[in-house]
Structure 1
Amino acid sequence: MAPLLAPSAGDRHRYRIVGGQPLVGSVEVSGAKNSVTKLLVATLLTDEPCTLARVPRIVEVDVVLGMLAELGAQVEWLDDHRVRIATPRIADASLSEAYSGVNRIPILMMGPLLHRVGEAVVPLPGGCRIGKRPVDFHLAGLRAMGAEIVEQLRSVQVKTLGLHGAHVELPFPSVGATENLLLAAVRAKGTTVISNAAVEPEVIDLILFLQQMGALVDVEVDRTIVVQGVERLHGADHTAIPDRIEVASFAAAAVATNGRVDVQGAHQEHVATFLNHLRRLGGEFKVTDGGITFYRARELTATHVQTDVHPGYMTDWQQPLVVLLTQARGASVVHETIYEDRFGYTRQLNEMGASIALSTTCLGGKGCRFAARDFEHSAVVSGPTPLVGGDLEIPDLRAGFAYVLAALVAGGASTISGTRFLERGYEDPVGKLRSIGALIETLPLDVPAQPAPPPGD
C-alpha cells in the first residue's frame, strides 16, 4: 500500500479564515498520532495479524503504512478508523531513502527488523524543524544490546546475531529513545532495564499493546522500565488513546475565541497538567460522561508556564497556549526546556500584532539544559493585543494549529499556506473547525484569496 501523499509532497491547498467568531459545539478527538505511528511499527514484531482502532486518517499515518508495505506488510482498512496489518514475512529490510528526513519513524524499525531478519537499513530521521533531536541515545542503547551499527550520510545500517538484554540509562528521558529500546527489548534474550525512561501516555499505550502481544514489561518507580524478553510475540487488537495534543488545541481555541467546545473522547488524566494552567489563566472545563467541555470563566490573565517531560507541561501544548496568552492581561512567561528551537513561529504572530519577546535566558522556575547556550528558548508574551489577519506560512506541525488559532482570533481574513504540516497530525481540521462555527475554507493553490467582508456582513 503506497502512502496517499509521497513523502516529499507539498501543499494540496491553502486555508482562508475569517476571525472573530466564538467557537461553539462538539468535536470528536482523534487517535493520538504520537501513539498510533509507534503501534504500527510494533506490528512488525510478529508475523501474525494485528488490528488497531481509533487510527486517525492523517498524512503521517499514510506515510507510515507506506513504509510498512515496502517492508512486506499487508494493510487493510476495515472501516474509517480501524486498520489490520499483517507481516507474515519481511520482503525487504532496507527502507527506501525516499523516507530520509520525512519523520522519525524509520529509526524505530531497527529493533523489529533485527528480530525478524537480523539486519536492517533505515534512513535517518527528520520531522518538524524544531531542534536537532539527535538519535545518539537510540544508537547507544541498541549497541549495548548487541547491535552492530554503521552510520552513513543518510541512513543507518544495523545487524546482529541476536539482541540481548542490557541496562541502559538515558541521559534525558527521551520519548523516541524509550520507545526504540522497548521495541528492541521485548524479544531480546534476557532482561533490559531502561533507567530515566520517558513515561508519557503514548509510551504507556505502546507498552499496553506490547503486553497484549505477549511482552513482559514492568513500569517501576523513578522512571525505570524493566523488560523481560520473550522468544516470540503474537497478534493483538488494540484501541489507541485519544490525542491529548488535539484536546489541548481545541480547548485553547474555545477559550481564546470566548466560545464553548465539548471535546468528545478527551481523557482528563492525559491533560491534567494542561487543565491546571488553563484554569490559572482564566479558562475553565467540565468533565462529562463523553469527554471534556472547555470555555472561558473570566478575563484572561498572565501566567508562567515551563514545558517539561511528562507529567510536566507538554512541549506540544506550548504553541496554542502562546496564542491564548496574547489575549491575556499582563506579561506571561513561557520557558521551553524540551527543544532548543521551538519559538521560530512567533515572528509571524508578532507581524499579526502580538507582543512576544524571545530570550536566551532560562526564565522559568529552574534552569535547563539550554542555559548559557545561546538558544532563544524563553518567551515573554505581553497582552492583551488585538491580532490582525495576514498571510501565514506554517513552518511545522504544532505551529500550524497556533496559526489557525491566531487567525480565528484575529480581525479580518487570513490565508494560511504550509497546510501539509498541519495535516500531518490533525485529522480533518477544516471539517472539525467548521462544525463548531469557524469561518474556514480551503482554496486551490492558484486561486487568490478574497478580502474579508466588512463588519456586519
Structure 2
Amino acid sequence: MKSLPSENRSATKESEGQAEGLTGDTIAIRGGRPLVGRVDVKGAKNLATKAMVAALLGESVSVLRDVPNISDVQVVRSLLEVHGVRVEDGDEPGSLVLDPSDAKSAHFEEIDAHAGSSRIPILFCGPLLHLLGQAFIPDLGGCRIGDRPINFHLDALRRFGAVVEKQPSGIRLSAPDGLHGANIELPYPSVGATEQVLLTAVRAKGTTELRNAAIEPEIMDLIGVLQKMGAIISYEPNRVIFIEGVDTLTGYDHRSIFDRNEAASWACAALATDGDIFVGGARQQDMLTFLNVFRKAGGAFDIEESGIRFYRGGPLKPVVVETDVHPGFMTDWQQPLIVALTQAHGTSVVHETVYENRFGFTDALVKMGADIVVHPDGLEGEYRRVPRRALEQAAVITGPTPLHGADIVVPDLRGGYSHVIAALAADGESVVRNVGIIRRGYENLFDKLQALGADFDVIG
C-alpha cells in the first residue's frame, strides 16, 4: 500500500465534501488476502455526537473521552463552535473539552454550511430552546437509505410547547412560554426521537413520560451522561422512560461506550476474507445478538477482557436474519454480514425491517459476482419474529459465489464499508470511489486496513 494520506482533515473540508455528496478518495484494492491483525475501536459515533450536543445543557465545562476522529464528530464540533461553544482537545488522546458559557444563536447559513449532509442539527433544538429560546433546522441530509422523517422529532417538540414554523430555508422553532413536561408515545422506537426527548425533557418544567422509547446501549449511555449532569431519569423494561425536569445542569466527565457498529464491521470483515481480527475495546454484553448470528454463520470468537477476537470456525453457513431495534439485530450490522454470506454454503435471507431502502448496496455485490435477489415488498415466513412493517424488504443470498474485482461507487456509510470488504474478499483488483464518506463512522480506516494487511493504493 502506498500514498497513505493523513485522515485528520479539517471540519470545513469534511462538511463541504459531504454537502456536495463527494467526500473524496478513490482506492484500488487487490483482494483475495485475509485480513489479519488487531484494530481498536473508540467511542460510538451514535453516542459521542449526542453527548457533545448535551454539553449545551450544562452551566459548566464538559469533558468527553474516547471520541472517535470521524467526520460526523467534526461536523458537530463545527456546529457547536458556530453557536459559541468553545471546543478544545483534552489532556488525553481522543478527548474533548466543551465550554458552553458563551453559547449564542447562529445564522441559518452558518448552520447549513457546517452541517453539510448531517442530520445532527435536529438534536440541537431542545438544548437551544432552553438556552436561547429559539432554534433553526436547515434542510437535513444523511445517508440515502430510505425515508428518515423528522416528524417524530417535531411532534415531540410541539408536545413540549415549541412553536414550529416551516420556512423556505428550513424550520424555525421558538418557545415563547418555555418548555414543559409531556406525555409522549413514539409510533416507533426511534433512536433519534428518543434522544430528542431526553435532551429536551431534562430541563423542561415538570415530568415527561416517554413510551415506546428506544433502549439501545448508546441511549443508556446518553442517559448516564445526563444523570452525571444532574438529570433525574428512570426507565422501565417495557420501553418507558420517565424524566423529571430540573432547573439547572452542570458539565460532565464521561468516557464513551465503544462503537458496536464498527466492532461488528471488523468481525464481518474477518468472516468474509477468512481472516483473524482482534477488535480491541469490543465488549460481549453489548454484542450478544450479533455474536449469536456470527456463530450461526460459521464464525468463531474468543472473549477477552480487552476485546474480542473474530475468525472463521469452519465453513460458512446460511442464516436467516431479521433486523430490529435493540435488543434485536441492528440494521447497521446486516450490510457487512451480507458480504460474508455470499460465501456461505446455501441460501440466507435477511429481512430489513428498520429502513425501506437499505439494500441498494447489493447492486455492486451482484456486479462482483454475488447471487443476491432483493424482494422490495419483503417475504413472509413462519419463522418470522419481528412484526412486519409496510416498508420492509428482504434479500435472498445464495452461495458460495466467487467474487471478482469491479469498479464501485460508495453510496452510503455502512454499504460503502461493505463494498470495501467485498473488494478485499474478491479476486483481482477493484476500484472503489467516494470512500471518504466511510469516514463518517470509521476512524482511521486506511491505517486500520494497512495494519490488517490489506493490499490497496489511494489513487485519487
Structure with more contact order per residue of length (Cα contacts < 8 Å, sep ≥ 6): 2
Task: State the shift of 1:35 in Å.
Answer: 0.9
> Aligned equivalents of 1:257 and 1:11: distance in 2?
26
Matched, 1:403 2:419: yes
Task: State the shift of 1:7 in Å.
Answer: 2.0
Matched, 1:328 2:340: no
User: What is aligned with 1:89?
Assistant: 102
Is contact 2:79-2:115 (8 Å) kept? no
Match 2:119 to one of 96, 104, 121 = 104
> Aligned equivalents of 1:226 and 1:387: distance in 2?
50
Is contact 1:11-1:417 (8 Å) kept? no
- Say which SS state the counterpart of residue 218 (structure 1) adopts: strand
- Say which SS state the counterpart of residue 226 (structure 1) adopts: strand
State the percentage of identical aligned residues: 48
Matched, 1:7 2:15: yes
User: What is aligned with 1:131?
Assistant: 146
Task: State the shift of 1:257 in Å.
Answer: 1.3
- Say which SS state the counterpart of residue 103 (structure 2) adopts: coil
Matched, 1:383 2:399: yes
Amino acid at match of 1:245: N
> Aligned equivalents of 1:34 and 1:382: distance in 2?
33
Which ranges of structure 2 fall in alignment gaps of 5 or more residues? Answer: 1-8
Task: State the shift of 1:31 in Å.
Answer: 1.4
Amino acid at match of 1:52: L
Task: State the shift of 1:4 in Å.
Answer: 4.4
> Aligned equivalents of 1:136 and 1:71: distance in 2?
24
User: What is aligned with 1:157?
Assistant: 172
- Say which SS state the counterpart of residue 5 (structure 1) adopts: helix
Is contact 1:4-1:59 (8 Å) kept? no
Judge which range, 15-24 or 230-239, deviates more. Answer: 15-24
> Aligned equivalents of 2:156 and 2:174: distance in 1?
14
Is contact 2:322-2:352 (8 Å) kept? yes
> Aligned equivalents of 1:254 and 1:90: distance in 2?
45
Deviations 1:350-399 (A, max 9, x none): 0000010010333261575543x6x6x11000100000011110000000
Amino acid at match of 1:362: G
> Aligned equivalents of 1:33 and 1:5: distance in 2?
19
Task: State the shift of 1:99 in Å.
Answer: 4.7
Deviations 1:156-196 (A, max 9, x none): 11111211001100000000000001000000000001100
User: What is aligned with 2:83?
Assistant: 71
> Aligned equivalents of 1:77 and 1:281: distance in 2?
42
Is contact 1:5-1:62 (8 Å) kept? no
User: What is aligned with 1:355?
Assistant: 371
Matched, 1:215 2:231: yes
Is contact 2:38-2:451 (8 Å) kept? yes
Task: State the shift of 1:125 in Å.
Answer: 2.2
User: What is aligned with 1:23?
Assistant: 35
Match 1:49 to one of 61, 65, 77 = 61
Amino acid at match of 1:145: F
RMSD: 1.6
Deviations 1:305-327 (A, max 9, x none): 00000000000001001101100
- Say which SS state the counterpart of residue 7 (structure 1) adopts: helix
Matched, 1:262 2:275: no
- Say which SS state the counterpart of residue 271 (structure 1) adopts: helix
Match 1:299 to one of 315, 318, 321 = 315
Is contact 1:93-1:113 (8 Å) kept? no
Task: State the shift of 1:30 in Å.
Answer: 2.0
Aligned pairs, number: 441
- Say which SS state the counterpart of residue 15 (structure 2) adopts: coil
Judge which range, 358-367 or 158-167, deviates more. Answer: 358-367
Q: What's the TM-score, normalizing by structure 1?
A: 0.94
Task: State the shift of 1:93 in Å.
Answer: 4.3
Task: State the shift of 1:425 in Å.
Answer: 0.8
Deviations 1:9-59 (A, max 9, x none): 133421221111111111111211111111111011123110100001111
Q: What's the TM-score, normalizing by structure 2?
A: 0.93
User: What is aligned with 1:175?
Assistant: 191
Which ranges of structure 1 fall in alignment gaps of 5 or more residues? Answer: 446-457
> Aligned equivalents of 1:7 and 1:265: distance in 2?
28
> Aligned equivalents of 1:142 and 1:13: distance in 2?
39
